[in-house]
Amino acid sequence: MKHDTRLREPVVPRDQPGPAEAGGDAPAGHHTLPAGTAVYAALDLGTNNCRLLIACPFQDSFRVVDSFSRIIRLGEGISTTGCISEAAIERAISALSVCRDKIAAKKARRLRLIATEACRAASNAQGFRDRVANETGIALEVIDRETEAALAVIGCSPLVDPRGRGAILFDIGGGSTELVRIERDPEARGEKPRTKAWMSIPLGVVTLAEHFGGRDVTRQSYAQMVEAVARHVAPFASEHGADLAGMHLLGTSGTVTTLAGVHLNLARYDRRRIDGIWINDADITVTIDRLLSMSYRQRVENNCISVERADLVLAGCAILDAIRQAFPLPRLRVADRGLREGMLIEMMREDGVLPA
């Protein structure tokens, strides 16, 4: 089924350029598109982040022409109040207004604009979506957890080791975490990995940090976070965690990309050095231990973490450690890609401009 959710008119004048914005991907926005080029836009409004990717088909994939990412913490407080706060709504509308302008400036016509856990869980989600539509022209589609897992598979499966059997893919979000076992048929040479099983748990970095604390994390409170996540993961691991030969972990989230940046001792985050990197299990342990030894202030001052993630990164590490315990695999591949890439590929396949 096609998802062709269009911006409600009026939006902005079509010749009005989108504003330059911190958190965007400035070099990508400098590409000039030939007249008549089909332009696609994928927006992911998550519990923690607002992300946009605009691209056009290119050979057997796509070329990014503009992007945007901003931490907005839409789900802040939902675990205790049950609703999206006014402050979070204002932050979301500000970010979505930038996205609207970028979509209009690039004249994207084929869109998918999704929202995830915060809009699934909040009692005022419909009112929030109505307000977003009225103020920005963006009509958000709330997807279920199965669709979220499926899009993550589409976006990340190119990073499955081509010589391996498959991967345990995980997507650590702000309000939920998805786990997917993907693998190839050993009898079919060259086959792309397929989903064998999936699950979603109602714990993400925001919900976990709000419950256990994210600024001042002791080793005891960290262990409690790991245990809480492990209880949710255990049934899936019991059924799908055996026979891991030829498998590896494949992670997509701010947690794993941040972890990779800290592991590499980068002066500042660099996607080109992160997307697709392999980290062995021992180095993951060392890096998480290093993060646990840091104070909140030290995490803020680390340019790969910064104030935006300083109170969330250890909650994410706890989720990762619970997954590592359940699926003891020697290597993790890091993906700085996910739902947006999955949506773009899916739309382009539906339109016949990419092979199915």
Domain residue limits, the chain: 26-143, 155-335
HSE-up (13 A, CA, CB side) for residue 266: 19
183/37: higher pLDDT: 183
Domain 26-143 in CATH: superfamily? ATPase, nucleotide binding domain (3.30.420.40)
181: DSSP letter:
E
- Least-confidence region, from 100-104, 181-185, 280-284: 181-185
Is pLDDT of 188 > 80? Answer: no
Is pLDDT of 11 > 60? Answer: no
Q: Is 244 exposed, middle or buried (0-12, 13-18, 19+ CB in 10 A)?
A: middle
What mean pLDDT do residues 116-132 have?
Answer: 95
Q: Is 88 exposed, middle or buried (0-12, 13-18, 19+ CB in 10 A)?
A: buried
Per-residue confidence (pLDDT) for residue 39, from 0 to 100: 95
Same fold, 26-143 and 155-335: yes
Is pLDDT of 356 > 80? Answer: no
Classified as helix, coil or strand, 47 is coil
- Least-confidence region, from 4-18, 260-274, 319-333: 4-18
CA dist 152 and 251 (Å) reads 10
Is pLDDT of 209 > 80? Answer: yes
Candidate ranges 58-67, 75-84, 255-264, 346-355; pick with highest mean pLDDT: 255-264
289/32: higher pLDDT: 289
Is pLDDT of 291 > 60? Answer: yes
Q: What class has domain 155-335?
A: alpha beta
Mean pLDDT of the chain: 88
Is pLDDT of 20 > 70? Answer: no
161: DSSP letter:
-
**Of 152, 149, 92, 150, whose CA–CA distance to 119 is shortest?**
92
